[in-house]
Structure formats: structure tokens, C-alpha cells
Structure 1
């Protein structure tokens, strides 16, 4: 069983930059966790700290109940796959995949059989004598994945492992990767800049900002109940609206709109100190409806872009400095005057 337990991790780089600040996180055995956040948020630093390539300034890393904080990467029993395939071009597929077994006491026949089983597991049965130069990008990434799991790691670490691949191959490998990790029983930590990918494949998502954890949640909870305005904007492209509380709801001076309190989720918990009435309201795209410009309760906006997404159109509309996202089953025209009608607003302290 390969639970990961991180406690009060700090990473300070030699120039004084804070890479991680007070990170505490528990990952259960066989769980698939995605790390997301903007550039510089600390997601790759956190992954490399788990792997042992970055040494924490404070805190501990436990895996399977063992303290690995000071243990070298090669002795942590982990497999790692990077964005670039890192497949050695001068070696056959079998030699690439079997390389980690050179450091074991297995017989040559046992190693050969294990290579064949692992290649079959990642869909490369019969590719053992091929050279990497004859493989597609997706096949080379499968080789890298096979090499990462052949030594029976307790943990699999993925650093943007799919981002260099084009669709639809990337989608195929996402599905295969999730199925493989569940079938083999790996505890997996996956760094990705692709929010849709994280939402699609992770059991839980860790959102990082400036080296700190902002929220840990299932994809469903993260979308519906983001715990901060930043998470709402980063994960769901929510529109953040500064507003002031009133006795009956909240008012946005910039938009000239007032909303009653029954439309505002967590209204009471977001109430600031008595000396301030300022809050941030988040309007999530799926809580906004595209309506006619003169619809009562709608925010007047101008349609800026229309993107077709299989069974609907993705809509972007603007009002001054505010950008709104929503969807429509019909294709409106760019430049149209439209209305954006909120059905729910999330409220956070300013």
C-alpha cells in the first residue's frame, strides 16, 4: 500500500525564492491526483520534492509509512515520466524498457519475460526490437511509461507526460493511462497545465497558487464549490465581480446591478468584518445564461467570440473590463448585443 503523506513542506531556493510554503497533503493508495496551477505556482516543484530531486527546507515526505525525506531519488521506489520522452535513441525498445532491471538480481530470462509483459501492458507487444526513431510520439511515450513501471514502483509521477502529444492521440493515452494505473494499482501524481485533462482523469485535484495549496477536491466539487475567487477563475473561467453587501443582497457599482441574497451562495459565510462591506462575486459559466439584451436581471454585454464545441457553442461576451463565459445551443453573431443572466453567484471576502 503506497499512501503519500506530506507534512508542512517548505522549499526555499538559493536565491531566496519560495517554491513551496506549508504544504500538507495526504494521498491514499491507488489514488490518481492531479496538480494544477498557473506557471510558477509550485506544481512541478512539489512533484520533484516527492521524487527526491528537490530537497525541502522544512517538512517531511512519507510514502507507505516510511520517511523518505532524505532518501535519494533512485532509492524511493518511484517511477517517473517526463514531458519529453527521454527514450535513448541508440537502444532498442526492449533495452530502453528493461534498463531499470539491470540493477536488480533477476536473471536475464526473467528480465526478458518482464519486458515482454510490460510492453504488452502498454500496448507495444511485438515492438521489442524496434528503434525509437521508427516509433511515433505516442509510441515513444508508451516506451517511457513502460520503463517507469517495469520495476514495480509504489508511486508513479507524471510531469506533463502527455502535453507534447497531439489530439486525438493525447485523449487515447489519457484513457489508457487511467486504466493502466488502476489495473496495476499505482498511486499516481500527475502535473498538468491542462485543466480539462485534470478534471477528466483525476480522483482529486490539488490547486496551487504561489507555492501554497488553495484547494483539494474531487473534480465535481472543484467545479461546483471553488473555495476562493482565484480557484473559480482559474478552474472554471469564472467572472469575478467586485461588489458591496447590502441588507438584501449585493450591488456591483461597475455593472449597475443588484442581486438578492437568495441568488448568492455562501452569502453569510462570506460576510466580511463590520468595518467592510466589500466582497468578490464569482459567476461560473454554467451558472450564466445567454439571453436577449433587454431581459430583466441580465447583464448587458457584447458578444466577442463564438466557438463550436461538438454539441454547443462556447460564448465569450464583454461589458467594459468584465469578460463572461457561457454556452448556447444556437450560434449568435459576433458583435451582437446580448444579456448574461446569472442563476447563482458565489461570494468571497474581498
Structure 2
């Protein structure tokens, strides 16, 4: 079984900077995990530590119950695909894909069979004799994926593996990748800077911030109830507003507004030791109304983008920018009202 267990994992670089702080994470066999977080949050550092390219200063990496902390990358039984295709231009597609088999005891005939099967798996049947220069970017990335899985790895690691591709090719390969990993029973860890991609393809998402795990949740749970205000802002573009809890609800001095208690939900497991809180307003819980509507915050439309069947809108109220969507298109500069339908409360 290809379960991954990360225990008290800490990575300290030569200059004393900590890339990871006490990471504890259990990944189930065949699970598809996405690592997301702001730039510098530790996503790639964590992936490279699992792969063995970086050595932890503390903690260990176990796969299938075996401690691999001191094992070299090539001996870990993992496949890895990077952002750039990393295929050898002087070699044919078949030779690129079959390269890892040179280090096995397989016969030439068995290697040929495995190469053919793997090319079929990634949709490159009939491409074996071609050179990478004759392929599209998506096809070259399929070659890299085939090379990563041909030796039957227990774990597949993806480092921004789709980010260099254009849509809709990226969406197509994303779908194929998820189907392939499920069909082949691979445990997959995928680093991506694309929040929507993580939400679309992962069984669970690990949100990293400053080298620490901020939250591990299913996509659905992450969207509805982020553990911290920072996660809400990163994942959902939530508006974060400092406020004071009162008997009536929550009051924000900066906006001169008090929201009734029935709108406030305590989202954090932490217990506040004061009435100071951070309120997170998710775009899905933000309603645009006519200016002057009772209880609405006065705001000005700042941007309007069309997204397939609706408009993505940002509106500025004082120092705060709210995001929401609408089937009606407002004009930039329009005066509107904003009424939160729900507010998540976190200790400040």
C-alpha cells in the first residue's frame, strides 16, 4: 500500500531559514492531494522533501510503512513530473519513456511491451518513433508523465506539471491525469499555484502558509468553512474586516456598521480571549443591492469581468474590497450597496 506519512517534518536551509515547520500529514493510498499556498509558503519544499531531493533536519517520511527519510530519490519508487517537459530532444518518444527501464532487469521484449502500454495510457499510441521537437507542449508533457509512471511507482509527484500549458489543453490533460491516477491506483501529490485547479481535481487540499499547514480539507469543506481568516482570503478571496463582538452582533468601526448576531458564525476552533475578531465575508455570501438599501454598506464598483454565465465583480467600501458575482452587469463607478448574507468569525 502506498500511504504517505509525514511526521514532525522540518526543513532548515543552510542560511538558517526554515522552509518547513513540524509538518504532520497522513495521505491515504490512492489519494490525490493538492498542495497550495502563497509564493514561499513551502509547497515545492514539501514536495521535494517527499521526493528525497531535500533532506529534513527533523522528522521523517514514510511510504507504505517504510522509513524513506535517508533513501536517495531514485530508490524511493516514486515518479515525478516537473513544470517544464524535461524530455531529451535527441531521443525518440519511446526512448524517452523507456529510459527508467534501463535500470531494471526486464528483458528487451518486456520493456517494449511496457513502453507501448504506457504510451497508450497517456494517449500517445503511435508516437513512439517521433522526436519531441515534432510534438506539441501537451504531448511533450504526456511523454514526461509516461516516463514518470512506466516503472510502476507507488507515488506520483507533480510539481506545477500543468502550469506551462494553455487552456483548453490544460483542462483536457487535467481530466486525463485524474482519470489515469485513479485507474492506475496511484497516490498523487500535486503542487499547483492555481486554486481552481486544486479545488477541481484533489480529494483533499493542503493549504500551506509560511512553511506550516494551515488547513487540510476536502475542496467542499475548504470553500464553506476555512479554518482561518487567512485561508479564507487565500482560497476564496474573502474580505477580512476587523470587528468587535457586541450584544447586538459585531461592529466594524472602519465601516461604521453593526451586523446582527444571526449573520455571525464562529468558524475557528480557537477560543477568543477578547471581543476583537476578524470577520471573513466570502464572495458567495456577498449580495449586491441598490444603494441606500437598509443595512447595506455603500460601495463603488471597481471591476467587472465576464465569466461564462455571470459577472465577477469587485466593489470598494472604504479600505475594503468585496468580491461577488451577478447575472447582471453593473458599470465601473456605479454606486451599490453590499449586504453580507453570512460572516465567519475568527479570533483576532
- TM class by shorter chain equals over 0.9
Is contact 2:122-2:142 (8 Å) kept?
Answer: yes
Runs (4+) of structure 1 moved beyond 3 Å?
Answer: 267-271
Question: Offset of 1:101 from its aligned partner?
Answer: 0.1
Task: Return the alpha-carbon distance in structure 2 between the equivalents of residues 104 and 272 of structure 1.
Answer: 58
Give the equivalent residue in structure 2 for 1:100.
100
Equivalence for 2:316: 318
Deviations 1:295-342 (A, max 9, x none): 112111100111111111000110121000000011111100011110
- Asked if the contact 1:270–1:279 (Cα under 8 Å) also holds between the matched residues in 2, the reply is no
Cα RMSD after superposing both structures = 1.0
Contact 1:271–1:277, Cα closer than 8 Å, also in 2: no
- Whole-angstrom distance in 1 between the partners of 2:118 and 2:45: 29
**C-alpha separation between the residues in 2 aligned to 1:293 and 1:207?**
37
Q: CA deviation at 1:214?
A: 0.2
Q: 1:269 to 1:61 in 2, by over 3 A?
A: closer
Compute the TM-score of the two structures, normalised by the length of structure 1.
0.98
Distance, in Å, in 2 between the alignment partners of 1:137 and 1:92 is 15
In the TM superposition, residue 277 of structure 1 has moved relative to its aligned partner by 2.0
Give the aligned partner of residue 209 of structure 1.
209
Return the offset for 1:145: 0.1
The range that moved more, 105-114 or 262-271, is 262-271
Query: What corresponds to 2:343 in structure 1?
Result: 345
1:266-306 deviation digits (Å, cap 9, x = unpaired): 17966621xx3211000000001111111112111100111
Question: Contact (CA 8 Å) 1:205, 1:218: kept in 2 or not?
Answer: yes
Name the structure 2 match of 1:66. 66
Q: Are 2:23 and 1:23 equivalent residues in the alignment?
A: yes
Which runs of no fewer than 5 residues in structure 1 stay unpaired? Answer: none
CA displacement, residues 77-124 of structure 1 (integer Å, 9 cap, x when unaligned): 000000000000000000000000000000111101110000000000
TM-score (norm: length of structure 2): 0.99
Unmatched 5+ residue regions in structure 2? none
1:329 alignment partner in structure 2: 327
Q: Using the alignment, how far apart are the partners of 1:8 and 1:340 within structure 2? A: 44
Q: How many residues align?
A: 348
